[in-house]
A and B are shown apart, each in its own frame.
Chain A
Amino acid sequence: DAKTTQPPSMDCAEGRAANLPCNHSTISGNEYVYWYRQIHSQGPQYIIHGLKNNETNEMASLIITEDRKSSTLILPHATLRDTAVYYCIVRVDAGGTSYGKLTFGQGTILTVHP
């Protein structure tokens, strides 16, 4: 399994962009990068995923470096409700079937302040 490394905590001012980095230097060519977040006392929530190209959805943007050894999750206009633990996960195929197990690391605690 490819290991991910994230800073333990980050701060961001409300209304500013939050840029959360993740290192995954041992990622394999067919492994995707997934981002989830977990707001206090709730279940994790899927944010976005990507393989090689940059991705954007209504929640965030995902920038993956060309060598795929790192990525950045961007929340373009952070709000107080974005305060959460953000997990960067490399998807592991479960025995060759068409779905993946998730191995959560420690994540980054993002605190958005007024």
Chain B
Amino acid sequence: DAMVIQNPRYQVTQFGKPVTLSCSQTLNHNVMYWYQQKSSQAPKLLFHYYDKDFNNEADTPDNFQSRRPNTSFCFLDIRSPGLGDAAMYLCATSRAGTSYEQYFGPGTRLTVT
């Protein structure tokens, strides 16, 4: 009965090689979020989708992009990963107009070599 699924759980990529992380949800929530969490730090919001509307945080690097082809799926694309992009990437969902609580996936840990 997984609700927010992230694949893969662990991803290794090479410096500068594009990588895509995926998130899917079975909750039919209309809002999806991507967070970056570096070691020993708090999660930091990168961007979110409200339905098909994309909302970027002001300090999110251009190197990070996202796609949401349908309600259930959302992708995080890192065009040219640097060593500083090694982190846990967390996907979350929420339903607008309810209690606003967010449901998080288990995360994908990205290693850049």
Contacts and interface: CB of A to CB of B under 8 A. Distances in A.
A28 interface: no
A100 interface: yes
Given A87-B42, A105-B42, A99 B97 contact: yes
Contacts of A99: 31, 50, 94-97, 100
Contacts of B82: none
Nearest to B90: A43
Contacts of A32: 100
Contacts of A102: 45, 102
Interface in A17-42: 32, 34, 38, 41-42
Interface string A48-64: 01000000000000000
Chain A at the B interface: SS class: loop
A101 B31 CA distance: 10
Interface string B44-81: 11001010000100000000000000000000000000
Interface residues of B, number: 25
Contacts of A98: 96-97, 100
Contacts, number: 57
Interface size class of A (residues with CB under 8 A): 20 to 34
A99 B92 CA distance: 13
Contacts of B94: 99
Contact of B48 (A34, A44, A91, A94): A94
A9 interface: no
A41 B106 CA distance: 8
Contacts of B45: 101-103
A100 B4 CA distance: 18
27 contacts: A34-B100, A41-B107, A42-B107, A43-B90, A43-B106, A43-B107, A44-B43, A44-B90, A44-B102, A44-B104, A49-B101, A94-B48, A94-B50, A94-B55, A97-B50, A98-B97, A99-B50, A99-B94, A99-B96, A99-B97, A99-B100, A101-B33, A101-B45, A102-B45, A103-B45, A104-B42, A106-B42
